[in-house]
């Protein structure tokens, strides 16, 4: 159905897209060379060739040197462009590096490292079904780029083949190669607002609001008084209350940051949708600096906070069965 919805010209262009020709190279590294680079004239190159052929024919028919000279000049330039375009990509080394996790339904960045021993012009890189990078010049040395692509499924996903192509220097030939990098990228469920269940690590499930009210003791803010226990510190003893004859009481303090919630999929919500809600909730709690944990069917992450903890929870969402 998606193909039928495309305009006819778009389908034709896809059909004549010559960069889909040739086998896809695999591996964590690729060095472009004679065995994995393909060259064909561009549309402008084909017109150029047709013009040269026309002039050749007219020159032969009219027995004049002018058109012949011009046609030979055009053909020589074309022959030169063939090699120059090929040399522009030959010897370039591509290497994939470990990609960072990203969210589904949002642009993902797939990192690549390009090593070149000379300057190269107008190199275009594109992931299949991704957005192409602007043609860029590569200076000698190592260049790092991030290719954009989209994915709607969570888990470890591999983007389509990388297409590297160039028409430099004259635009008469297109030289390309296709390569499937080996690294998989972790795709976290898309962030969608919705109900989120919560469960203690060893407690029956209860609501998110209830659990956020119950917080652990700390030392930041005074909260309440309670009967003094022998193991309580003398520093916590409420001397004023003792002087008033109210008995030995201990002061109870509470840290705001110790409010803890253990997130879990909301019962009754489809599993994938529940994971998306969890993804949004984890992101929000992390932005607010709150403590939270995560309990999934096969994973229990104890409460914590910080960027590493957030990434761990999000990764667990991406990889859960």
Partner 1 sequence: MALPSRRLQWLAQAVLIAGCVGLDPGWLLGGFTLALVLMAGLKLLEARDRTGRRLVALLQLVGCGLLAAQQPDLLPSLVQLLAAVLCSCWCLASAPWAPGSTAPAPVPAPA
Residues forming the site for partner 1 (CB under 8 A): 44, 47-48, 51, 54-55, 58-59, 62, 64-67, 69-71, 73-74, 100-103, 106, 109, 111, 121-122, 133-138, 143-146, 167-171
Name which of 109 and 223 has its Cβ closer to partner 1: 109
| Shortest separation between residue 280's beta carbon and partner 1, angstroms | 13
| Shortest separation between residue 209's beta carbon and partner 1, angstroms | 28
Between CA 55 and CA 250 the distance in angstroms is 103
Name which of 53 and 242 has its Cβ closer to partner 1: 53
Between CA 317 and CA 297 the distance in angstroms is 11
| Shortest separation between residue 143's beta carbon and partner 1, angstroms | 5
| Shortest separation between residue 203's beta carbon and partner 1, angstroms | 32
Name which of 65 and 152 has its Cβ closer to partner 1: 65
| Shortest separation between residue 91's beta carbon and partner 1, angstroms | 17
Residue 120 Cα distances to 97, 126, 166, 178, angstroms: 22, 17, 10, 18
Give the position of tokens 């009481």: 249
Strands 215-227 and 205-206: unpaired
| Shortest separation between residue 88's beta carbon and partner 1, angstroms | 8
Name which of 122 and 237 has its Cβ closer to partner 1: 122
């Amino acid at each position: 159905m998606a193909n039928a919805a495309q305009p006819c010209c778009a389908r034709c262009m896809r059909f004549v897209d010559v960069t889909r020709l040739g086998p896809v190279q695999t591996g964590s590294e690729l060095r472009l060379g004679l065995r994995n680079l393909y060259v064909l004239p561009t549309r402008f190159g084909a017109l150029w060739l047709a013009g040269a052929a026309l002039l050749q024919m007219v020159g032969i028919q009219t027995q004049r040197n002018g058109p012949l000279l011009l046609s030979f000049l055009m053909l020589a330039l074309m022959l030169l462009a063939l090699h120059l375009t090929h040399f522009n990509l030959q010897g370039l080394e591509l290497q994939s590096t470990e990609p960072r996790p990203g969210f589904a339904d949002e642009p993902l960045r797939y990192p690549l490292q390009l090593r070149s021993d000379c300057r190269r012009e107008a190199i275009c890189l594109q992931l299949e079904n991704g957005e192409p990078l602007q043609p860029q010049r590569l200076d000698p040395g190592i260049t790092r780029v991030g290719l954009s692509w989209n994915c709607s499924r969570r888990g470890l996903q591999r983007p389509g083949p990388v297409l590297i192509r160039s028409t430099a220097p004259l635009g008469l030939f297109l030289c390309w190669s296709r390569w499937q990098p080996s690294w998989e990228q972790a795709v976290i469920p898309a962030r969608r607002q919705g109900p989120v269940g919560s469960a203690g690590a060893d407690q029956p499930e209860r609501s998110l609001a209830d659990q956020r009210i119950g917080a652990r003791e700390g030392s930041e803010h005074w909260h309440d008084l309670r009967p003094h226990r022998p193991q309580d510190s003398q520093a916590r003893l409420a001397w004023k209350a003792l002087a008033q004859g109210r008995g030995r009481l201990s002061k109870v303090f509470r840290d705001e940051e110790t409010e803890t919630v253990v997130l879990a999929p909301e019962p009754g919500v489809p599993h994938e949708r529940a994971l998306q809600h969890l993804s949004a909730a984890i992101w929000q709690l992390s932005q607010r600096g709150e403590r939270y944990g995560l309990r999934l069917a096969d994973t229990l992450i104890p409460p914590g906070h910080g960027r590493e903890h957030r990434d761990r929870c999000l990764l667990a969402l991406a990889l859960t069965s």
